[in-house]
Chain A
Amino acid sequence: MTSRADPSDANLPDAEEALASLAQGMRAGVAHGAAFVGIYSGGAWIAERLAKLLPGDHPVGYIDVSFYRDDFASKGLKAGARRSNLPFDVGGASIVLIDDVLYTGRSTRAAINELFDYGRPASIELAVLIDRGGRELPIEPTYVGARVACARSLSIALSRAGDGKLALNVEPAGKA
């Protein structure tokens, strides 16, 4: 692996504990039929886990925001874009958009724009495993697993092990 910064730099919580805390916070608020839409790739893993953890029947969808990013002109198209897949009718749906790390809010903006190209949802809520602050857009999460302070020079990444366990790591920023 490449040089990995010390996780203690960001006082990262345990990912599984943050997930449990996120699920706990959502239990009372989320509609039983709400669709869970995970933003690739970390948000997709969390959406799958939450659909199992929470009561009710939650269709799971996946969204890749590559075609809606606002840095296309400066950075170009990111390699490895995936197919968005929303196997339910977005029009009229209650949607919980799910991401691993909320930072500037730009991915969330891109995801909301993309959702509207599939239809007009009844509502969109935002659930994130980690809120690291640093917003550049007026976007706030509805549900948060954990809040952390993290230097701008670092980026927080979620990984998933072979047994499905989630883990948080910090990397020097600018790689993504």
Chain B
Amino acid sequence: MNGARNPQLGPDGRLLHLLTLEGLPAETIVSILDTAEPFASIGERDVKKVPLLRGKAVFNLFFENSTRTRTTFEIAAKRLSADVINLNIGASSTSKGETLLDTIDNLVAMNADMFVVRHAQSGAPHLIASHLHATGKPHVHVINAGDGRHGHPTQGLLDLYTIRHYKRDFRALSVAIVGDVLHSRVARSLIHGLTTLGTPDVRVIAPKTLLPARVEAMGVRVHHDMRAGLAGCDVVVMLRLQSERMKGALLPSSGEYFRHYGLTADKLALAKADAIVMHPGPMNRGVEIDSAVADGERSVILPQVTFGIAVRMAVMSMIAGGPP
């Protein structure tokens, strides 16, 4: 099958789906970030809409709960003038036993143009894209909105957009990613993006129990001591402590975690004076981040959300335009 290696890119290198940042060429990532710039200003206009996806049907398929991601995808599609259909999968056919691909085939029969997919299984969006290709529907596009522990490429892209917005040049940056890297698809996507764009110093800071095996192979330096890890960095990315996924005794208690790995003003003081603080949300205040830091002047957590809409508009319009 043509494109089995990297099904998100067409033969001419054009973006057909967005499944992962892993293996995505630097110029494609930069082009998405560049394209997002003019979309960012549309949210400030009287009419917050452009006609690019007029008449297209975008299906939000969220097999896992999400508020922010689903809402920002919905806003992005609506600002592109698409029709958005939100499927509450938990309450629908899959619970009656329909397979994922049967669900897809039925929605394609309803003339879907794009699927935005979140799924607990790593690889589900990839499976859907391959299926669409195999069944002769290459004009239907797939965006991964988070799959298992694998990736969350639009979150990675909006993180990259945010970093570039405040810090400009990736090739001069130290970025520290702090917390539950093991369970975090956000961290995985961001690390791939940062290394692809030539960030010389990417650090992960976490207890051993919250790091995947051989994490160094992704091109990061590992710190178990947060103070040492934050020293002199330009960007601090806090990860949510995904307590609902923590089975077994990975951590003693959330209070103990906050003491060692929670971001407080005195720990942040070890980073550069102009370092920015990011968090993909939702935040656990008092667990991985102190309220004074989350609401402080170096926090860019809310701008991240706004930028996320522009980045999703850019991705949707890049994959939907042009001949199939």
Q: Is A75 at the interface (CB under 8 A from chain B)?
A: yes
Within 8 A of B (CB), among A51-92: 64, 66-68, 72-77, 79-85
Instruction: Contact check, A76 vs B35: say whether CB atoms are below 8 A apart.
Output: no
- CB-CB nearest in chain A for B48: A117
Instruction: Contact check, B51 vs A77: say whether CB atoms are below 8 A apart.
Output: no
Q: What's the minimum C-beta distance from B11 to chain A, rounded to whole angstroms? A: 14
- CB-CB nearest in chain A for B318: A77
Known interface pairs A81-B35, A84-B38, A117-B45; A74-B323 also in contact (CB < 8 Å):
yes
Q: Which residues of B contact A73 (CB under 8 A)?
A: 321-323
Partner of A68, one of B51, B317, B321, B323: B51
A67 and B47 alpha carbons, distance in the complex (Å): 13
Query: Interface 1/0s, chain B 157-180, versus A by CB < 8 A?
Result: 000000000000000000000000
| Chain B facing A: main interface SS | loop
Partner of A76, one of B37, B45, B51, B318: B318
A117 and B52 alpha carbons, distance in the complex (Å): 14
Q: Is B98 at the interface (CB under 8 A from chain A)?
A: no
Give 24 CB contacts A-B under 8 Å.
A64-B38, A66-B38, A67-B42, A67-B51, A68-B51, A72-B52, A72-B322, A73-B321, A75-B321, A76-B323, A77-B52, A77-B318, A77-B322, A79-B31, A79-B34, A79-B35, A80-B34, A82-B38, A83-B40, A83-B41, A85-B41, A117-B47, A117-B49, A118-B47
Q: Which residues of A contact B31 (CB under 8 A)?
A: 79
Kindly list the 3 A-B residue pairs having the minimum CB-CB distance in the complex, ordered from nearest. Answer: A76-B322, A76-B321, A67-B50
Instruction: Contact check, A67 vs B38: say whether CB atoms are below 8 A apart.
Output: yes
- CB-CB nearest in chain B for A72: B321
- CB-CB nearest in chain B for A64: B38
Instruction: Contact check, A118 vs B38: say whether CB atoms are below 8 A apart.
Output: no
Q: Is A119 at the interface (CB under 8 A from chain B)?
A: yes
Looking at A67, A75, A119, the one whose CB has the most chain B CB atoms below 10 A away is: A67
Q: What's the minimum C-beta distance from A49 to chain B, rounded to whole angstroms? A: 24
Q: Which residues of B contact A76 (CB under 8 A)?
A: 14, 318, 321-323
Q: Which residues of B contact A117 (CB under 8 A)?
A: 45-47, 49-50
Instruction: Contact check, A77 vs B34: say whether CB atoms are below 8 A apart.
Output: no
For the complex with contacts A72-B321, A76-B322, A79-B31, 13 further pairs of A-B residues with Cβ separation under 8 Å are A67-B42, A67-B52, A74-B323, A79-B35, A82-B38, A83-B38, A83-B40, A83-B41, A85-B41, A114-B50, A117-B45, A117-B50, A118-B45
Q: CB within 8 Å of A: which residues of B? A: 14, 31, 34-35, 37-42, 45-47, 49-52, 317-318, 321-323
Looking at A84, A85, A117, the one whose CB has the most chain B CB atoms below 10 A away is: A117
Partner of B35, one of A75, A77, A113, A114: A77
Q: Which residues of B contact A119 (CB under 8 A)?
A: 46
A98 and B223 alpha carbons, distance in the complex (Å): 57
Q: What's the minimum C-beta distance from A73 to chain B, rounded to whole angstroms? A: 7
- CB-CB nearest in chain B for A66: B38
Partner of B46, one of A64, A82, A118: A118
Instruction: Contact check, A74 vs B322: say whether CB atoms are below 8 A apart.
Output: yes
Q: Which residues of B contact A72 (CB under 8 A)?
A: 52, 317, 321-322
- CB-CB nearest in chain B for A74: B323
Looking at B14, B42, B322, the one whose CB has the most chain A CB atoms below 10 A away is: B322
A120 and B47 alpha carbons, distance in the complex (Å): 11
A74 and B323 alpha carbons, distance in the complex (Å): 5
Instruction: Contact check, B37 vs A83: say whether CB atoms are below 8 A apart.
Output: yes
A72 and B51 alpha carbons, distance in the complex (Å): 10
Instruction: Contact check, A68 vs B35: say whether CB atoms are below 8 A apart.
Output: no
Q: Which residues of A contact B41 (CB under 8 A)?
A: 83-85
- CB-CB nearest in chain A for B14: A76
A104 and B38 alpha carbons, distance in the complex (Å): 25
Q: Which residues of A contact B321 (CB under 8 A)?
A: 72-73, 75-77
Q: Which residues of B contact A74 (CB under 8 A)?
A: 322-323
Q: Which residues of B contact A77 (CB under 8 A)?
A: 35, 52, 317-318, 321-322
Q: Which residues of B contact A80 (CB under 8 A)?
A: 34
- CB-CB nearest in chain B for A81: B38
Q: What's the minimum C-beta distance from B120 to chain A, rounded to whole angstroms? A: 32
Q: Which residues of B contact A83 (CB under 8 A)?
A: 37-38, 40-41
Q: What's the minimum C-beta distance from B35 to chain A, rounded to whole angstroms? A: 6
